[in-house]
Amino acid sequence: MKPAGSDAIAFGLMVLGALIIVDSPYTKAPEGEFHPWRIDLKTATEAELTLLPHVGPVIAERLHDAIETGVVLTPDDLAKVHGIGPMTQARSRHLFKDAEHDDAPR
C-alpha cells in the first residue's frame, strides 16, 4: 500500500526536473528545437556531423573531408560542401561550438 500523496509528490518532482532541463541555456535552440550538445568543427567526427539536421552519412563524409582540407573553417563555410544548401546551413549554425558557447556541454 502506497502512502497517501506519494503519486502527487512523484509527479511534482518529475515536473520540477523537466522544468530545470527545459530552462537550461544550453538546451535552447532556434525554432523550438532542443540540443544539449554542440559540435566543434575542428575536432568533429563523421558520426557527430550526422547529428546535424538533414545531414546523412554521405554529406557528413563530404563535410568531414572539407573540414580536414581547410575548405570549411566556420559554420558560414558549410554551404561550400555539395549537398548543403542555405537552409541546412541556417538550421545547423546554432549547433556548432564557438567562442560564445565554449562552455556548453557536448
pLDDT at 26: 43
pLDDT at 35: 56
Q: Which residues of the chain have pLDDT under 50?
A: 19-30, 99, 101-106
pLDDT at 17: 56
Cα separation, 75 vs 53, in Å, equals: 13
pLDDT at 61: 95
pLDDT at 84: 92
Q: Check: CATH 1.10.150.320 for 37-101?
A: yes
pLDDT at 13: 60
Q: What sign does the dihedral 37-51-35-39 (CA atoms) show?
A: positive
